[in-house]
Structure 1
Amino acid sequence: MKPYASLACAALLGTAAAHAAGQVTPEAGAAQEQAPSPAPGRSAAAKPDATIQQVTVSGSRANDTDQRRLSTAGKMVFGREELDRNGDSNVGDILKRLPGVTVGGAPGRGGGGVRMRGMGNGYTQMLVNGERPPPGFSLESLPPDQVERIEVMRGPVAEHSTQAIAGTINIVLREGYQQKDIQFRVSDSVAKGLHSPNVSLAMPGKSGQLGWLTNVMLHQNRNENESTTYDRSERRDGTPDSEQLLRGRSDARSRGLHLSPRVSYTFDNKDTLTIQPFLGVNRSNSRLANEVERIAGSPDYARLLQASRSEATFGRLFGNWLHRMEGGAKLDVKFGAGGANSENSSLRRSFGFAGEPLRVFNDSGDSRFRSANTGGKYTKPVAKGHLLAIGWDVEANRLEQVQVAEDDGSPLYEESGASLAAKQRRLALFAQDEWDITERWSAYLGLRWEGIRTTSQGAGKDVKNLSRVWSPVLHTVWRIPGSEKDQLRASLTRSYRAAPLNDMIAAPGISADNSFVRPDRSGNPDLKPELATGIDLAYEHYIGRTGIVSASGFVRDVDDLIRRVVIETATAQGLRWISRPANIGKARTSGIELEAKFQLSDLFPAAPNVDVRANYSRFWSDVEDIRGPYNRLEGQAGQTANLGADWRLKAIPLTLGASINWTPEFAVQASNEELSRTGAKRQLDVFGLWRFPAHTQLRLFGSNLLSQNYDTARSVTLPDVFTSTQSRTYATVGVRLETKL
């Protein structure tokens, strides 16, 4: 299998790396092993664990790699070293560098959602400690200091919800069992002269059988944005309506507090009880000013001023009780509760070309979300090489919402301002068997049934929606004979995407400048879940102690695809464009993903102490009943790539690193009438890390150093509308001091 490893290196890193990989013979590769390879069987898995415990490891790289290699269901683990490497201010910036992951929105700004395999929001399942986070939670608001590791699973597994057509990203909050010192971190980042400081403190403790870890972080973000938008539109009869150039400038400020204490108690019988609350408070204010340059026709306004504010408070309690029984059996029970309150308001005033006031548009909302859940998993070795698990998940959610939208004091919808209450109940049962078929062949068989019932009252219509999904999953890994470092993976899975609650309830979202490209938004209570059948194949070659080269491919066939459809509807204020989600038919997506991660000395023994990371992904998709050639899944880029390296100098305690992220321009035919385009993104990040004595280090970092403009465009044929926006982006530089007390 050595030629395949060399080929993958060549594809990712160029001819030089491929040539170097070709120089490593099987005998030399075996000589580089520091410990014997583990037996692939479940019962033999204790052997590699024992070997790891005998080796002093700096960071978590070796453990991360071993977890990936030994897992039957493909899983990538990224620990503290990866999280700390570039000094990122939020988890979204970290995710953009992971294999097959893209982040929407302008470079350095985020806000566009996290996508695995290029698939849009909802296809990628985001979890915090294995559970769905509450509304109001966003990756941009989660500081990396609060995270212990990130787990990326490309295929669904039975013990988690199978709402993971593209895959699952599980963010595990900080754990206390490894930490002994108080960790203090203070940093400041600057973009366009605006400072964004943050301070974090992690304090562990232990008294007898009780252990705890308290994590707290305060942060403030400041940013300014500038954009230029060109709009051209025609009336239905083909006569020109307006042509204009809109220049926008906005500034925003947000402040937040995050707290995640963790308490763990070990009983005399070795049972453990863990309680981990997660609390967050975010406040933000923003101002927007738009100036219109009239080219032709009659634009709606010459100037628009907008002031917005939002407040969000969310919390989640994670609880876990682990009970060990005879014969290696375990009962793992989880429980939790959470809630989120959010308020937002926006006041927009428009003015004519003579400076006269035109319209006052007021939009405000208030929502309350509450949830409770419990679940568990019972595992027991039932035969040699068999680890059987059965479990359950029960979750209850309630959402209360009030939305007010007024134009010059008059409601835009009859139900605007009415209260809305929605309830959602979820029940799931699952069973799985991890089976070591032979010494080199392991399989994971799982079956999950999940039912979701949604009801709501208010907003002019009662809603009832019930969905039930069976999800069989099969994962298998074969460790190739004669090569302890090579293995093949295959998966056959059934996954789904349930319609989001906000897509089913009928609470309207109002657009101040209503048009086909800026429609109001409403829900559809009759949505069915999207169902997907998927096949995954992967080849993995492990290099040295921590390196890997892999090549994988996937196919997903999706039924009942959900996509928003824009229609014109009569309202109290006349005809308005409204966007509603609908099941439009079938789609297929496929792709290949290449990855390489290794120390340069694994290929060249005399090479400097450099870590290399590279990945490349290529995606295809096709949506039936929408004309080509751009009838792709919404938001899916055709390609993405990352390249990075870290150099740890020997003579001085300095580490230098850089990474570049690339996503080319792509177009998507959203409907037969609408085509959208997204510009290319290139993001260069660098850092330097100086380690002082007494557990102190200073990190200097820069992100989005290329500062390239971000372009988007939409065109519509009936009526003819074209709009394009160019947004400026800015480089961010910062400093971060980390110390252990």
Structure 2
Amino acid sequence: MMRARAHLGSLLAALAAGLPVGALADTELKAIEVEAVLDAVAEQRYAAGQKVVFDREDIASLGGLSVSEVLRKLPGLERGADGMEGASASARGMARDSVLILVNGERPTASGRHALTVVGRLPAGELERVELMRGGSAEFGVTAEVVVNLVVRAPQAKPSRSLKATVGLRGDEPNLQLTGSVEGGVAERAWTLPLTFNRHRMPVDQQRMRGDPAGVVADERTLGSYRVDELILSPRLSLKDGERRLTVWPSLYLNNGWRRQQLSAGGVDTRVDRERSDMRIARLRADASMPLASVDGRLGLRLAVMDGDRRTDTRRLPAVGTAAVEALERSERELTGSARLDRAVGAHLLTWALEGAVLSRKDAQEAGSATVLALRRHDLRETSAAAWFQDEWTFGGADGDTFTLTSGLRVDGLRQRSGGGQRHTEAVSPSLALRWAFAPAWVLRTSVGSGLRAPKLDELSPVVTRSAGVNTPLEPDLGGRPGLAAERIQRFEIGVERYLGGERSVLGANAYFRRTADFIERTLADEAGRWVERPANVGDARHWGVELSVRLDSAALAGTLPAGGSLRATLTLPRAEVDDARLGVRRIANDTPRHVSSLGYEHAPSGAALRYGVQLRHTGTVRTARASELQGTNRSGTRIDVHVTRQLAPGVDLRLAGENLLGARDRHARVARDDDRRWQLAGRDGGDRTWLLTLEGKW
């Protein structure tokens, strides 16, 4: 009982900082061992579920300028993006919703972009830690292959100030980031006031080769630049009264973007595209935590409200013909909340929770020529509620911690309204996970669960965005499908870990299997003479594969790695197949990579003034094969990033980071067929190198 109470006390202190129970409760399984809190590998070992932790040193070694860039570089994830719609990523070769991103334990709504947009643009130094969790649970559900929890640094009462300036080049475009932060407090009150200004400049360099059914082949080159200016104000206030805690987190995000690109074919200019966008997001989040003596537990509460607006204006000016105009205005309002109770009973850690969210969105789209515009309006609304219970039971062995059995049940209800139609989705999702420390340095983990994943609002919206240039099956208009059904998912995972070097190094292997009924992929159709791509329930799908991971430090490989060196490597071998009911064939899932791998080395001896690191990422050929309808491949090459940090004085660092040193470009080739007609599209994008120089001081 004493062990369980100590476990719960440290757990609930972490909950007050906004962290999920599944992410931190496990870290204190051996509550008297402070090492389990401080060391990321030890925390991974004693976690009830599959978890990998990146602390501040690990985050710095990734070299990302912003939180979104850190997310894009995390080992085991691929095809991460840092676009206007916020942070995103994918895993295990699944492009759609395979990664669930939390912010201090907060689950996003179907929109999900707003908290991630604000947090994703913050400097990487604002992150305290990042947690990657695999396997099913009642807390996180089973629909996402990987859950990523971004833990933002909590304010400290100790007065401090910091300034950070980054300048550099992405290709030949200048970039700038300026960040200042003031922090302080007295007694039980702490606050931090960070202000960030980003000036992103990104070159546009695309090459395309097209072939149409008439046999005409055309080469096209697009050159231009994409500029974004951002201002992020994200203060945080923490109040304590004994064991009672309250955190208030308002944030304001302003974004102004401009894209200009010029298209040419055969050396002759054919069109100029201009796009201007403006975004504003205001958000307020409050977290409270308090002990409940009557049940010997702790209650956590969270409430967040958001108001966001965005406008995008696009003009396409051909050398000959009429200009095309498109404008989209979007306003979104969001209210989310949760309540949870955590309680230790003997060797059991019990959690009850309620979650709810209401999201409304209004879209107004104008499209046509400069003189004739068609106006479309569309309203969407989503209301969701969930209740879940989880029991983490630790037992067995001399210390009573050989086994940890985590059982749970999650009940979700969702109501979505798109235009005049409504849909209701309910799901009861059981889950079971086991951790077994079957030998002194070995841990086996396995989990099983099922659940339901509803479509996103964007996938239900009938609003169609017209393709930028020609309209073909390979460059279609994009739209949603109001009648889309939810996916039904079943998952199983099993993995083993071997710990080395006094728990500071680990080797891991994991196998996974997933079955999805009513699997959603994007499909093509000819609608009134224009090709439109929309999501559809194409049939049943199966995803499976193996993941291998290595984390080693110099203590585990004495004489092989220099003192202060650490090595991290991952390899994912994903496989997927779909029983396509529409085509009547069994095929691979769209955009499935042959493999995804990463290798990183960090040299940071204790007390050294010079630190450096290198990271290599490679994705094998990504394939699409929809019978004779569509065939495609994508090759992204190998990316190498490096960074060197020199301490100029106590509290003052100078850092040089280089990204994509090999100039790797995305190369793609696709062929589409419709009866006896054939279209071909091949091209390459990107390849720009980035150099960033950062001067940072803290006092």
**TM-score, with length taken from structure 2:** 0.89
Matched, 1:340 2:340: no
Show CA shifts across 1:540-590 (max 9, x none). 1222242211111100001101112211122xxxx2112222111100011
For residues 49-69 of structure 1, what are the alpha-carbon distances to aligned partners after superposition, in whole Å with 9 as ceiling and x for unaligned?
A: 43327x9xxxx8x43223322
1:535 to 492, 505, 526: 492
AA matched with 2:34 = I
Q: 2:32 aligns with which of 50, 64, 70?
A: 50
RMSD, aligned α-carbons:
2.7
Q: Which residue of 2 aligns with 1:444?
A: 406
3-state SS of paired residue (1:602):
coil
Would the alpha carbon gap of residues 256 and 408 (structure 1) be closer, same or farther in structure 2, given more than 3 Å must change?
Answer: closer
Q: Which residue of 2 aligns with 1:370?
A: 333
CA distance in 2, matches of 1:677, 1:606: 39
CA contact (8 A) 2:71 2:80 kept: no
**Matches for 1:295-314 after TM superposition, within 5 Å:** 303-314=270-281
Structure 1 residue 603: deviation in Å?
2.1
Contact 2:285 2:304 (8 Å CA) reproduced? yes
Question: 1:590 aligns to what?
Answer: 544
2-structure distance, mates of 1:366, 1:185: 35
Q: Which moved more, 1:198-207 or 1:424-433?
A: 198-207
Matched with 2:478 is 521
Maintained 8 Å contact 1:381/1:388: yes
CA distance in 2, matches of 1:651, 1:430: 46
Q: Verify the 8 A CA contact 1:114 1:121 in the aligned structure 2.
A: no
Q: Are the equivalent residues in 1 in contact too, given 2:40–2:54 (CA < 8 A)?
A: yes
**Corresponding residue for residue 679 of structure 1:** 635
* Counterpart check, 1:125 vs 2:92: no
Distance 1:87 1:661, change over 3 A: same
| Residue 208 of structure 2 corresponds to residue 267 of structure 1 | no
Between the aligned partners of 2:26 and 2:530, the Cα distance in structure 1 is 65
- Aligned amino acid, residue 185 of structure 2: K
Question: Residues 398-417 of structure 1 correspond to what in structure 2 (within 5 A)?
Answer: 398-407=360-369, 409-411=371-373, 416-417=374-375
Out of 404, 420, 426, the position equivalent to 1:468 is 426
Q: Deviations over 1:435-488 (max 9, x none)?
A: 11322011111111111101133xxxx22111111111111100114x1x2110
Change (3 A) 1:46 1:714: closer
CA distance in 1, matches of 2:257, 2:678: 37
1:115 corresponds to 2:93: no
Distance 1:716 1:373 in 2: 43
SS in 1 for 2:580: coil
Amino acid in structure 1 at the alignment position of 2:232: H
Distance 1:687 1:310 in 2: 33
Counterparts in 2 of 1:77-226, with a 5 A limit?
A: 77-103=53-79, 113-129=88-104, 130-132=106-108, 134-135=112-113, 137-138=116-117, 141-160=121-140, 162=141, 164-177=143-156, 181-226=160-205
Residue type matched to 2:248 in 1?
I
Q: 1:630 to 1:304 in 2, by over 3 A?
A: farther
| Mapped partners of 1:727, 1:145: distance in 2 | 30
SS in 2 for 1:359: coil
Q: 1:88-131 CA deviation, whole Å, 9 max, x = no partner?
A: 2233432344332102579x999994112121132321222223
Partner of 2:466: 510
1:243, CA displacement in angstroms? 1.8
Q: Separation in 1 of the partners of 2:589 and 2:46?
A: 33
Q: Per the alignment, do residues 691 and 67 of structure 1 end up closer, same or farther by CA in structure 2, a change over 3 Å counting?
A: same
| Conserved? CA contact 1:617–1:639, under 8 Å | yes
Superposition TM-score, scaled by structure 1 size: 0.84
Q: CA deviation at 1:420?
A: 1.5
**Which of 555, 569, 572 is 2:527 aligned to?**
569
Structure 1 CA distance for aligned equivalents of residues 327 and 651 of structure 2 = 49
Residue in structure 2 matched with residue 647 of structure 1 by the alignment: 603
* Matches for 1:276-355 after TM superposition, within 5 Å: 276-293=249-266, 303-326=270-293, 328-351=296-319
For residues 535-684 of structure 1, the aligned pairs below 5 Å read 535-543=492-500, 544-570=502-528, 575-604=529-558, 608-609=562-563, 610-625=565-580, 631-648=587-604, 653-670=609-626, 672-684=628-640
Moved more, 660-669 or 65-74: 65-74
Distance 2:80 2:197 in 1: 26
- Alignment gaps of 5+ in structure 1: 1-41, 235-239, 295-300, 352-356
For residues 603 and 87 of structure 1, the distance between their equivalents in structure 2, rounded to whole angstroms, comes to 25
Residues 156, 184 of structure 2: 8 Å contact kept: no
What one-letter code is carried by the residue in structure 2 that aligns with 1:64? A
One-letter amino acid matched to 1:622: E
User: Which residue in the other structure is 1:250 paired with?
Assistant: 224
Q: CA deviation at 1:334?
A: 1.1
User: Structure 1 pair 652/336, CA: closer, same or farther in 2 (3 Å)?
Assistant: closer
Judged with a 3 Å threshold, the aligned counterparts in structure 2 of structure 1 residues 313 and 605 are, in CA distance, closer, same or farther, namely same
Instruction: Report the more deviating stretch, 714-723 or 118-127.
Output: 118-127
Tell me the alpha carbon deviations over residues 245-287 of structure 1, each in whole angstroms, 9 at most, x when there is no partner.
111112111111122211111124x211111123321111010
1:201-252 Cα distance to aligned partner (Å, 9 max, x none)? 2322122321112222111111212121000010xxxxx1532111111211
The amino acid of 1:619's aligned partner reads P
Q: Secondary structure at the match of 2:58?
A: helix
Aligned in 2, Cα 1:103/1:736: closer, same or farther, shift over 3 Å?
Answer: same
Structure 2 stretches lacking a partner, 5+ long = 1-23
- Label 1:121 to 1:281 Cα distance change in 2 as closer, same or farther (>3 A): farther
Q: Say whether the 8 Å CA contact 2:101–2:108 is kept in structure 1.
A: yes
Pair 1:642–1:375, CA change in 2 (3 A): same
Task: Answer yes or no: is the 8 Å Cα contact 2:87–2:113 preserved in 1.
Answer: no
- Give the match's secondary structure for 1:409: coil
2:478 counterpart letter in structure 1: R
Q: Which has the higher strand share?
A: 2
Q: Choose 174-183 or 284-293, whichever is displaced more.
A: 174-183
| Residues in 1 aligned to 2:426 and 2:273: alpha-carbon distance in whole angstroms | 44
Matched position secondary structure for 1:182: strand
- Aligned positions of 1:703-718 closer than 5 A: 703-718=659-674
**One-letter code aligned to 2:450:** R
* Identity among equivalent pairs (%): 22
Distance 2:44 2:277 in 1: 41
Structure 1, 110-119 or 417-426: larger mean CA deviation = 110-119
Q: Aligned partners of 1:44, 1:616: CA distance in 2, in Å?
A: 26
Q: How far did residue 315 of structure 1 move? A: 3.0
User: After superposition, what is the alpha-carbon deviation per residue over 1:493-551, rounded to whole angstroms, capped at 9, x for unaligned?
Assistant: 21343211011121221224222222222221111111211111111122224221111
Give secondary structure in 2 for the equivalent of 1:85.
Answer: helix
AA matched with 2:688: Y
Question: Which sits farther off after the overlay, 270-279 or 225-234?
Answer: 270-279
Deviation string 1:675-713 (CA, Å, 9 cap, x unpaired) is: 221113211111111123322221111111000222112
Superposition deviation, residue 434 in structure 1: 0.6
8 Å CA contact 2:136–2:432 kept in 1: the answer is no
What SS is found at the alignment partner of 1:84? Answer: helix
Counterpart residue identity of residue 430, structure 2: P
Question: What is the CA–CA distance in structure 1 between the aligned matches of 2:370 and 2:84, rounded to whole Å?
Answer: 33
Matched AA of 1:286: R
